[in-house]
Amino acid sequence: MATVFDYATVACFLGMACAFFILTAREPRMLLHLLVVGATFAIANQVGNAGYTVLAIIQIIAGVVYAALIIRQKSAG
């Protein structure tokens, strides 16, 4: 881990994994939604390391927002 994007995406992924175990019922469908978010973080890491900073930041924010919406929706009802 050498760049800011490495640390940011790993931190987001760990936060998402903790939220999955703590805030959800651990349904397979929820795991599939969060798998998409994990892939988004991995792609954002590679994009950021390639020098496309703005695009990587947009992807990270989009992944965090999507994960938060999905977890909030599933934990509420």
Tell me the per-residue pLDDT of 20-35, one tens digit each, with 9 for 90 and over.
899 888 888 989 999 9
- Which residue shows structure tokens 């792609």? 43
The pLDDT assigned to 77 comes to: 61
Residue 42 has pLDDT above 90, yes or no: yes
Residue count of the chain: 77
Q: Please compute the mean of the pLDDT values over residues 5-17 and round it to a whole number.
A: 94
Query: Coil, strand or helix: which one is 40?
Result: helix
Which residue type occupies 72? R
